[in-house]
Structure 1
């Protein structure tokens, strides 16, 4: 592909548009086409599987467009930020399904590019781009959630390998993951300076996962246990006891991408659908407008907030792609996104009235049951990726420069 610059962006846009139209699997052109919902996450389970979603992922990966701005030498697209925006615009305009959803793309890959050695980059980045490995995050522990630096999962140097013992909690999709990027304690005499960042194959003997059932009825989070787990020395990323710096950087990427996953149309585990249209259907119209004046005002404010949020996320992403990386402002975005998503789901349930009280059984439409469960799921939005309270602390100290309370 030619290396298009400013004046040539429209030519690049045409090339992108033509390529997408020619390579999008015919089976997926039907908006109601059914695929395995897990296929978009990739991983060992879907390596070589005959699913149109996998075909789409493979074609985009061959192009490097699952990670469009990553260097070509690792399998990325090597696109400029401007070209990546064009690709995003054309994917949205054509209503193409995501080719790959991946913690490897959103969180691990960026820090590997920044902190990993060349051997680690060549081993892991191509497989992330190709969707061959599904990753999970081993951060929080039963006694180290908000105070993450208090983690106690022990990692001992055994000469030719690391030996890990301990447990993690709220490990998203650990039961489906192939590998885990994990924070471990390598020096018990120090807090922040005694943490390291290691990569663990989930098939290693001694690794066990147990899904946690949530009030929404789903089990996306897990407990993860490590019992005498042997990890190769080469799986340490960055310097020994230098994991806290990597952890903070990765959390910035995580918050940035969690925020990007929220949307006015409903996402990040919340209720889905057009809120205004659903409210009109259930509450009726008066003069062509939603009859409930107060609810109409609150829905309008929520839609305006989401519009402002999307523009802020786009601006933050552009600054990040320009080479600055994510900043502490991601905490502002994460906090706002969680609050707006919870508010939206509450408005949805309110608009449904009595039909927003269902859990299962006859008398409730699928949308109504999904709305209730989505509303319950959004309670986790203010916890995952750093609690809202911790994000407010980050904002006060690193954005506003406020002193610690006395």
Structure 2
């Protein structure tokens, strides 16, 4: 019997040998050299030998094969996409990829793409399984760059304000206010966007708003005004949207403050029209009066405190001035008038200092000075335009200077 032998050392993993009808199957046997085996015989055509004979041959993959793992970074910003490719010398039925951060992936493909959320250096492995269950492993190292993330930090002075935390602002008396400024810092490496800042209480108000975009390493600020209408402990939630990547959107915190009623006390304010005259101040009269003429000047006394203001008797010390109307005690939030008449007796500069007692704690006594000027009274002008008869002549005259 003839033995027909084939050299399989140069074949790839699989080979089909076709024998035509001349090569009679009944008188021959078949074998293959190399690391492989003849695994099947198939007939095609008629049994009388007119058809072809097919021999199926597979290489032996029982030994571990050599594989290589290659990595290609596809993106430089988070998430970082990396393409992994395996080079194998013989058939592989499956791959298991270990990405170095605890994640794994099984695949029948020799190429996969994986995205890393965080920057860093990772040791990546792949385990390739051959058709008979034999495995081979390849390892490589991959480094992905720093991801770009905005990160928010809120402070009042040097005090860090926690998201969801609280901060006590300066107390204020009713009818007054206190302002507190908070700083928003971008400690990340991408632009931080800031939405509108809101508050949840009418006792608090946002009076200065932050910039809408804060570059990395920069800051902006906003100011909260506490202006209570009633006494007591007050709170409000401050909140604003942002694009922080670390769970602080929206950012919110509670502000706390105490409102108190101011102690009962009067407070004096003196005005002429809209002009405020301070204690020990001076009011200059605008008009220059002729001797013998007069002008009445009203001065308004206001009590801007929250207790009755008492006013002592006011006396004048100049014959050119006289008091026509004395002020009286003033209830909180009310006002009364003092009326002074200026009637110069002679020409020249004039002044009057008024001083009186009050129960204002820091303005007792209260005094202010009135100043003015006076000119001599002018005689009536005489004008002669015609004479009924004769000739009009001037023998002498006196020139009167106007002051």
TM-score, length-normalised on structure 1? 0.18
Greater C-alpha Rg: 2
More strand by share: 2
